[in-house]
């Protein structure tokens, strides 16, 4: 497991102080460069290869009528990703990220978590491994996203099981739930929390509620940490998935940035418990990794300044 390299981060901070600008004037662009320096172990961090991984899965909880769009849309969107027609394709292109989509047994939805375990142990273990194996060891940064109809309900259940609070605290409109769907979402999460109230480890929480893509996100976050690759998480659904790892290790997400503040209300609560400031806030609420891809543009801006600017000495200023 790679840890934050304080010496590289300090060197980066010292360099920021020497660049031709008033100290601190690039604001968070400066601290983002330091973050990258520490996690890459390099005072001049680079993003030559940005990898974006979108994990897709289907969910038995959709039987409870928690989703405005039908579950068929998951596979249809995967086809759209492969054809280049989704928002994430455009954003990865402009941000310079290589996108891979990992469809996880879409014809075999997880079990309805109000009725039993969403994922049996072998399926859970295999899904975590799929996430680990998908990470390119040569990546300089990893962006994570998901696609799965029903996922805003799964995310609410995972967040409540991990961080406490009621179903109503975490449930939001997702793709556009009306009042009736909202009530069914809250009832489904409540029922799940009752059924699985003994779930106390990351593995038991992931197995209880699923899904495969959430388990894969956890696997990718763990693998990136082993490899010393910083991660950009997407919005509510992605953060709720990765957040489960904090049950076992409260520092498990130290190498992760939150790409954006989603408009999904539960994300605000999640951001507060994760104690991280999102890179951007654009009122997006899509998923797919789109907020992470927009954040990569900002990160690239930060590193262009960090690496390309002249120092006061070089420019003969001051």
Ligand X SMILES: Cc1cc2ncn([C@H]3O[C@H](COP(=O)(O)O)[C@@H](O)[C@H]3O)c2cc1C
Q: Work out whether 213 is an interface residue with ligand NIO (CB under 6 A).
A: no
Q: Work out whether 71 is an interface residue with ligand NIO (CB under 6 A).
A: no
Continuous segment of H or E residues that includes residue 82: helix 72-83
* 120 is an active site residue: no
Contact 302, 33 (CB under 8 A): yes
Of 249, 240, 213, 218, residue with least CA distance to 231 = 218
For ligand X, the closer CB: 30 or 288:
288
Q: Work out whether 73 is an interface residue with ligand X (CB under 6 A).
A: yes
For ligand X, the closer CB: 111 or 125:
111
CB of 261 to ligand NIO, least distance (A): 9
For ligand NIO, the closer CB: 221 or 286:
286
> Rounded distance, CA 254 to CA 222, Å?
11
Phi, psi of 256 (to 5 degrees): -110, 140
Q: Work out whether 241 is an interface residue with ligand X (CB under 6 A).
A: no
Phi, psi of 117 (to 5 degrees): -65, 135
- The helix/strand/coil state of 204 is helix
In whole angstroms, what separates CA 234 from the centre of its chain?
Answer: 4
Handedness of CA 270, 211, 256, 53 (dihedral sign): negative
Residue 67, contacted partner among ligand X, ligand NIO, none, CB below 5-8 A by kind: ligand X
Q: Work out whether 10 is an interface residue with ligand NIO (CB under 6 A).
A: no
Residue 148, contacted partner among ligand NIO, ligand X, none, CB below 5-8 A by kind: ligand X
DSSP state of 280: B
Residue 126, contacted partner among ligand X, ligand NIO, none, CB below 5-8 A by kind: none
Residues forming the site for ligand NIO (CB under 6 A): 152, 174-175, 234-238, 262, 264, 267, 285-287
Residues forming the site for ligand X (CB under 6 A): 67-69, 73, 77, 146-153, 174-175, 237, 286-288
Active-site residue list = 288
């Amino acid at each position: 497991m790679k840890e934050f390299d304080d010496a590289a981060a300090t060197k980066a901070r010292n360099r920021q102080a020497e660049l031709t600008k008033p100290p601190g004037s690039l604001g968070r662009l400066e601290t983002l460069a330091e973050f990258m320096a520490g996690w890459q172990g390099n005072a001049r961090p680079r993003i030559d290869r940005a990898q974006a991984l979108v994990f897709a899965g289907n969910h038995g909880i959709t039987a409870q009528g928690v989703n405005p769009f039908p579950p068929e849309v998951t596979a249809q969107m995967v086809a759209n990703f492969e054809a280049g027609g989704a928002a994430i394709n455009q954003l990865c292109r402009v941000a310079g990220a290589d996108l891979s989509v990992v469809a996880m047994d879409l014809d075999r939805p997880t079990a309805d978590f109000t009725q039993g375990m969403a994922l049996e142990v072998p399926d859970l273990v295999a899904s975590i491994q799929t996430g680990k194996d998908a990470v390119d060891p040569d990546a300089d940064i990893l962006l994570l996203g998901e696609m799965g109809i029903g996922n805003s309900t799964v995310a609410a259940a995972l967040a409540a099981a991990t961080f406490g609070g009621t179903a109503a605290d975490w449930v939001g409109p997702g793709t556009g739930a009306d009042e009736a769907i909202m009530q069914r979402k809250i009832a489904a999460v409540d029922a799940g929390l009752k059924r699985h109230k003994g779930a106390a480890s990351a593995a038991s929480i992931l197995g209880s509620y699923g899904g495969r893509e959430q388990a894969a996100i956890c696997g990718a976050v763990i693998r990136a940490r082993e490899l010393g690759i910083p991660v950009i998480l997407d919005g509510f659904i992605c953060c709720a998935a990765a957040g489960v790892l904090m049950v076992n290790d409260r520092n498990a997400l130290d190498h992760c940035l939150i790409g954006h503040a989603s408009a999904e209300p539960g994300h605000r609560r999640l951001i507060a418990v994760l104690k991280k400031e999102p890179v951007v806030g654009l009122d997006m609420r899509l998923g797919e990794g789109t907020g992470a891809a927009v954040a990569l543009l900002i990160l690239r801006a930060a590193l262009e300044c960090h690496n390309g600017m002249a120092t006061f000495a070089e420019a003969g200023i001051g």
